């Protein structure tokens, strides 16, 4: 199966994955919005055997929210979100935006849409631009 590479923004942390993800969640819960600073988190899930760190594993910091099953790993140099493993190490969560290329995903889900803010829904009526508007 083909592989995809990924990295943080500054390139200090790099990894490669087998391009075959079990699930992709677009999560709009309050915690995912806060931890990403965005309208939703876009995370891919896979078996750990298909994942390999290429560089920068020592530059990763992980925040675990006390009392909750919410965590975030990020590059200590640039702050970009990077993959993290499940508690038992059998699965990896990969932030989709960290990948270079298109992931192949078995199932995609939009979750916690009841917590989605109105400013991030119904975007079809907003003008689209390939870059910054002129």
pLDDT in tens, 8-24: 999 999 999 999 999 99
Q: Where are the domains of the chain?
A: 3-118
Cα distance from N-terminal residue to C-terminal residue, the chain = 42
pLDDT in tens, 13-61: 999 999 999 999 999 999 889 988 899 999 999 999 999 999 999 999 9
Q: Spell out where the chain has E strands.
A: 3-7, 14-18, 21-27, 41-47, 51-55, 60-64, 71-75, 81-82, 84-85, 91-95, 99-100, 105-111
Q: What's the mean per-residue pLDDT of the chain?
A: 92
Give the CATH number of domain 3-118; options: 1.10.3720.10, 3.90.550.10, 2.170.150.70, 2.40.370.10: 2.170.150.70
pLDDT in tens, 71-116: 899 999 999 999 999 888 889 999 999 999 999 999 999 999 999 9
């Amino acid at each position: 199966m083909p592989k995809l590479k990924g990295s943080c923004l500054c390139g200090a942390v790099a990894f490669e994955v087998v391009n075959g993800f079990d699930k992709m969640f677009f999560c709009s819960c309050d915690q995912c919005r806060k931890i990403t600073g965005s309208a939703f988190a876009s995370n891919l899930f896979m078996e750990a055997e298909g994942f390999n760190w290429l560089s920068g594993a020592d530059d990763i910091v992980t925040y675990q929210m006390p009392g909750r099953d919410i965590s975030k790993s990020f590059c200590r140099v640039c702050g970009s979100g990077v993959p993290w493993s499940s508690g038992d190490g059998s699965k990896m969560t990969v932030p989709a935006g960290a990948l270079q290329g298109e992931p192949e995903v078995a199932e995609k889900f939009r979750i916690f849409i009841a917590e989605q803010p109105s400013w991030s829904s119904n975007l079809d009526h907003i003008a689209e631009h390939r870059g910054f508007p002129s």
